[in-house]
Amino acid sequence: MNRTALSLAAAVTALAAITGFAALTTPESGAGAPAAAKAPARMPVERSSLLCPAPSNSEVAETVYTSYTPAGAGGSGAAATGDAAGQAELKPSAATAETTADGKKAGAPKKAPAAGKPVLTLNQPGKPVTAEADGGDAPALVGSASGRLAPGWTTQQTTKVPAGGARGLLGLSCTAPDTDLWFPGASTARQRADYVHLTNPDDTATVVDIELYGPDGALKSQLTDGVTVPARSGVPVLLSTLTTGPAAEDLTVHVTTRSGRVGAVVRSADEKLGSDWLPASADPAGTLVLPGVPADATSVRLVAYAPGEDDADLKIQLASPTGTITPAAAESLHVKAGMTAAVDLKDLTRGEAGSLLLSPSQKGKATPVVAALRVVRGKGDDQEVAFIPATGPVGERATVADNRDKGTTLSLTAPGGAAEVRVTASAGTEGGTPVTKTYTVKAGTTLAVPPPVPAGLKGSYALTVETVSGGPVHASRMLAEPDDGVPMFTVQTLADDRGTVEVPAARQQLSVLVD
């Protein structure tokens, strides 16, 4: 053997020591042929983040936080929700005061608990835990979960305000941070006080741009430099201060970040209709589902926006308990590019719960849109409002926390094919045994039912919805809590919790080292 061969053998031996024996074996499929790639495996996520905005500025507000992770995800870890202004280096007056377009503080700053002290801690999957906060000083919350508590982790923020301009039952599934969010259904009308709440989970400040689009297009903005959201803090911004233009009944709010990410949600308060949270719509798409319009809704208003360069012509349908029908009030909606369109859907439900379906009027001509519903229950002075944004399908699994033994309604919609759905009620926060029930949802219908309740329930519980077969399925939960004749309620949509991610298979390959 000559010197060159010996040198090459030595080099291969050294590489084998570094990269492992598997990289030196001959592919079974033939000389020089790569081994067949394995399909990516689905693995539980190892970390989740959630952001909860400051719940209210009312001194009579009563807020309950409920945190839950479905059982059976595997792994190990702990989840905690901590105060957004709870870090020693943050200033609560700058981090949580209401902010106007010129950067001035429009309200008193929130008070912060002791730095670093969790408001709520979850130690095990399968059992929800709660915490309470009273008054208007509760700040925004930043949360994280790891290990076995990360997959499917959810936190519900439910606030009851019995009196005042922000009266109502305000419910929100705390949101994951994002960089690009759409909120059709907001307003700068005189009777409305709408704030967009921005929460920054990261250790560096971020700048957020807020754009408003009305029936005639983009509104001229006073916000030239964006809104700076300090590290690990929350900032509410009053929408009416962002523009000098006339008040707009229907608006679409677009929130983007120049760097980093934020949690964003709109808190809407109407002098006559009460208040609730308006979460972001699903990403722009040609077909949208808005699930869970209550059977006794007295007013339903659809707001849509087309973010692209093309107009959208939308067919409006209602998935009722018996099938898909076209509402008599409006069969279609034309949405001009870059503009917000709205329509009142009078007598939409006719006493039966349903879900709104939006699709292209012409097949093959799908223009992406975002959309949301403003839903009112009650009459006269006893009215209450809630919002239902377009939402994605349940997918493999979705969860909503803070369900009660009375006043909870689960809506399941199968806009395409029939589906079988498994619903699991968790143990209660103070006791109870989990139960599971399977439902069949017919194609093109909405099934609205009181969900299963844990045996021996004490406290509140979580609902986990899983698609067994068929579908896709879209879902929402209505929580009703009447108060002094006012039918207070709130609706939370359920979308895939993305508790698992695809992890591609990897193998060592020496060929990348050979010319």
Digit-coded pLDDT (tens) for 458-480: 999 999 999 999 999 999 999 99
Report domain extents, the chain: 52-278, 288-389, 398-502
- Lowest mean pLDDT segment, chosen from 112-116, 125-129, 430-434: 112-116
Q: How far apart are CA 198 and CA 208, in angstroms?
A: 8
| 76-89 confidence digits (pLDDT tens) | 456 666 554 322 12
Q: Which helix (DSSP H) or strand (DSSP E) does residue 8 occupy?
A: helix 3-19
For 205-220, b/e burial (b = at least 16 CB within 10 A) is ebebebebbbeeeebe
Residue 115's pLDDT is 47
Mean pLDDT of 413-422: 97
Q: How far apart are CA 447 and CA 439, in angstroms?
A: 9
The residue with greater pLDDT, 20 or 435, is 435
Q: Give the neighbor-by-neighbor strand order of the sheet with 79-83.
A: 47-52, 141-146, 79-83, 118-122
Indicate if the alpha-carbon torsion angle 90, 96, 97, 100 is positive or negative: positive
Query: 């053997």: which residue's tokens?
Result: 1
| Nearest residue to 281 (alpha-carbon basis) of 178, 411, 157 | 178
Mean pLDDT of 88-113: 41
Mean pLDDT of 472-491: 96
- Asked if 160 contacts 488 with a C-beta cutoff of 8 angstroms, the reply is yes
Alpha-carbon distance values, 405 to 26, 132, 152, 408 (Å): 63, 19, 23, 7
CATH code for the structural domain at 398-502: 2.60.290
Q: Which of 22-31, 412-421, 502-511 has the highest mean pLDDT?
A: 412-421
| 363-375 confidence digits (pLDDT tens) | 878 999 999 999 9
Mean pLDDT of 298-303: 97
Average pLDDT, the chain: 85
Residue 350's pLDDT is 87
Say how many Å lie between the first and final Cα of the chain, rounded. 23
The percent helix, strand, coil of the chain (3-state, each to 5) is 5, 50, 45
| 15-30 confidence digits (pLDDT tens) | 333 333 332 233 333 4
Q: Name the region of 180 (left: φ>0; alpha: ψ -120 to 50; beta: rest).
A: beta
Mean pLDDT of 335-346: 96
Residue 36's pLDDT is 54
Residue 501's pLDDT is 78
Residue 266 has pLDDT above 90, yes or no: yes
Give the model's confidence band at 38: pLDDT under 50 very low, under 70 low, under 90 confident, else very high: low
| 121-146 confidence digits (pLDDT tens) | 888 899 999 999 999 998 999 988 88
CATH code for the structural domain at 52-278: 2.60.290.11
> What's the token pair of residue 230?
């300090």
- Asked if 495 contacts 394 with a C-beta cutoff of 8 angstroms, the reply is yes
DSSP string spanning 469-493? EE---EEEEEEE--BTTB--EEEEE
Residue 79's pLDDT is 66
Single-letter code of the amino acid located at 295: A
Report, at the CATH architecture level, how domain 288-389 is classified: Sandwich (2.60)
Side-chain half-sphere CA neighbours of 485 within 13 A: 4
Q: What are the φ/ψ torsions at residue 241 (nearest 5 degrees)?
A: -85, -5
- Asked if 258 contacts 207 with a C-beta cutoff of 8 angstroms, the reply is yes
Q: How far apart are CA 356 and CA 388, in angstroms?
A: 10
Residue 72 has pLDDT above 90, yes or no: no
Q: How far apart are CA 355 and CA 207, in angstroms?
A: 36
- Asked if 275 contacts 268 with a C-beta cutoff of 8 angstroms, the reply is yes
Residue 401 has pLDDT above 70, yes or no: yes
Residue 333 has pLDDT above 60, yes or no: yes
Residue 82's pLDDT is 57
Residue 325 has pLDDT above 90, yes or no: yes
Q: Name the region of 225 (left: φ>0; alpha: ψ -120 to 50; beta: rest).
A: alpha
Q: How far apart are CA 422 and CA 441, in angstroms?
A: 11
Percent of the chain residues past pLDDT 70, beyond the cut: 82
Q: How far apart are CA 278 and CA 265, in angstroms?
A: 6
Domains 52-278 and 398-502 share a fold: yes
**Assessment of whether the complete model's pTM goes beyond 0.75:** yes
For 426-465, b/e burial (b = at least 16 CB within 10 A) is bbbbeebebbeeebebbebbbbbeebbbbeebebbbbbbb
Q: How far apart are CA 142 and CA 139, in angstroms?
A: 10
Residue 349 has pLDDT above 70, yes or no: yes
Q: Which residues contact 2 (CB under 8 A, 6 or more apart)?
A: none
Percent of the chain residues past pLDDT 90, beyond the cut: 68
DSSP string spanning 145-176? EEGGGSTT-EEEEEEEE-SSTT-EEEEEEPBP
Mean pLDDT of 155-172: 94
- Lowest mean pLDDT segment, chosen from 71-80, 349-358, 396-405, 434-443: 71-80
Give the model's confidence band at 498: pLDDT under 50 very low, under 70 low, under 90 confident, else very high: confident
Residue 515's pLDDT is 52
Mean pLDDT of 89-96: 32
For 39-73, b/e burial (b = at least 16 CB within 10 A) is eeeeebbeebbbbbbbbbbbeebbbbbbbbbbbeb
Q: How far apart are CA 31 and CA 51, in angstroms?
A: 54
